[in-house]
């Protein structure tokens, strides 16, 4: 197995016992390796970063080094802090990663022990911790200059760019054939076309100087929040590949849409999808308790738009990939990306219907 050979190139004491696929990510290939050194065992994450998704995967490692150095300075070493972060394990020749001739990058990260992730919200407390951890992250990186970070995924969370790509893809023969043979696809296309006028709300606010560029996580969905198994408290955000300069309302929106949909993102029953206001209240209380007051006050006018646009954007990305023939997100069966799109569109409708209640909860704190 290729991953077994790659794992053996990293400076992990002992011998490799097992290697198995790990996690449920839709982009990269991730494995959990178990090494034994005498009587001790160590778990290590081995991950392949795909160049067709990340055109400059080495930038991911640059940003991870910068982020970890900043967190060390803020918090001390991982074992000294309640906030945990994945340490880079170097290769046996002292490098941070292995770059294959075709451009794919392999890395090894220390496994975060005693914590787990969940793909859907488990309780009000879980939603609170999702918000709290994101607020902590935003506070920790508030004084990390975006100029130190490189762009790992060009165009990421630029909703107008996703719209332009969608409109280009619509004109292709593959998309034309797909839409002509599927009522659900045609309705999904219409769903986006009816909302074109709101796509650039946050980007326009940024252009006016009302939102500043900061270091953002990029993908703080609930499945990337690690929860301590014993205490139930959030301990960190993982999946740091998209940490780069960005706009914080998108981070907030992505986390909120994920934490406040108890039906989950792959639920086969689209009609069960909802944006739960009790969960949002818990999530927002967690976020507002851990983010700095200055940061919160500057973001408040754009938080509902962040939730709305991130949900709409993700649905747009799933739909575009479906129209292209599933070239970006991994699928297990035909039509899965179309279904994923409809989950997000149903959630978008619920967010639109509950706009006044969401904004009231935001204004209360």
Where do the domains of the chain lie, and which CATH numbers do they carry?
A: 2-113 (3.30.200.20), 124-363 (3.90.1200.10)
pLDDT at 267: 87
pLDDT at 4: 84
> What is the rounded distance in angstroms from the CA atom of residue 97 to the CA atom of residue 95?
6
Distance of CA 228 to the CA centre of its chain: 19
The pLDDT-based confidence of 79 (bands split at 50, 70, 90) is low
Q: Check residues 53 and 237 and name the one with the higher pLDDT.
A: 237
Residue 142 has pLDDT above 90, yes or no: yes
pLDDT at 86: 84
**pTM of the predicted model as reported, rounded to 2 decimal places:** 0.91
pLDDT at 328: 83
Helices (H) and strands (E) in the chain, counts: 13, 11
pLDDT at 331: 87
pLDDT at 249: 97
Find the radius of gyration of the CA atoms of the chain. 20
Mean pLDDT of the chain: 93
End-to-end CA distance of the chain: 53
For the chain, percent of residues with pLDDT exceeding 70: 97
Residue 1 has pLDDT above 60, yes or no: no
Which of 7, 93, 77 is closest to 45 using CA atoms? 7
CB atoms within 10 A of CB 6: 21
DSSP 194: T
Average pLDDT over residues 28-53: 90
pLDDT at 25: 62
Q: Check residues 331 and 219 and name the one with the higher pLDDT.
A: 219
**Percent composition of the chain: helix, strand, coil (DSSP 3-state, to 5):** 50, 15, 35
The pLDDT-based confidence of 3 (bands split at 50, 70, 90) is confident
């Amino acid at each position: 197995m290729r991953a077994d050979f790659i794992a053996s190139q990293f400076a992990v004491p002992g011998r490799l016992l097992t290697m198995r696929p790990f996690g449920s990510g839709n982009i990269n290939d991730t494995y959990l390796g178990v090494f034994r050194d005498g009587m001790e065992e160590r778990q290590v994450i081995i991950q392949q970063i795909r160049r067709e998704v990340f055109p400059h995967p080495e930038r991911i490692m640059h940003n991870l080094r910068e982020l970890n150095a900043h967190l060390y300075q803020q918090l001390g070493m991982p074992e000294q802090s309640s906030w945990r972060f994945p340490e880079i394990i170097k290769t046996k020749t002292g490098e941070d990663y292995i770059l294959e001739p075709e451009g794919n990058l392999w890395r090894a990260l220390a496994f975060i022990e005693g914590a787990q992730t969940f793909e859907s919200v488990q309780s009000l407390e879980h939603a609170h911790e999702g918000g709290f951890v994101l607020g902590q992250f935003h506070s920790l990186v508030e004084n990390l200059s975006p100029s130190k970070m490189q762009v790992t995924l060009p165009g990421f969370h630029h909703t107008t760019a996703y719209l332009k790509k969608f409109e280009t893809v619509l004109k292709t023969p593959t998309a034309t054939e797909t839409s002509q043979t599927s009522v659900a696809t045609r309705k999904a296309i219409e769903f986006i076309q009816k909302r074109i006028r709101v796509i650039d709300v946050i980007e326009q606010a940024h252009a006016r100087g009302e939102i500043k560029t900061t270091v953002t996580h990029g993908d703080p969905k609930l499945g990337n929040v690690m929860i301590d198994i014993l205490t139930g408290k959030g301990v960190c955000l993982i999946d740091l590949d998209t940490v780069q300069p960005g706009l914080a309302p998108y981070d907030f929106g992505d986390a909120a849409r994920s934490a406040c949909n108890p039906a989950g993102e792959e639920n086969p029953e689209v009609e069960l999808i909802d944006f739960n206001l009790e969960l949002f209240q818990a999530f927002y209380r967690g976020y507002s308790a851990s983010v700095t007051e200055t940061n919160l006050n500057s973001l408040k006018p754009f938080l509902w738009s962040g939730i709305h646009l991130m949900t709409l954007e993700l649905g747009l990305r799933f739909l575009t990939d479906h129209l292209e023939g599933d070239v970006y997100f991994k699928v297990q069966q035909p039509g899965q990306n179309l279904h994923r799109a409809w989950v997000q569109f149903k959630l978008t409708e619920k967010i639109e219907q509950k706009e006044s209640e969401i904004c009231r909860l935001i204004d209360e704190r």
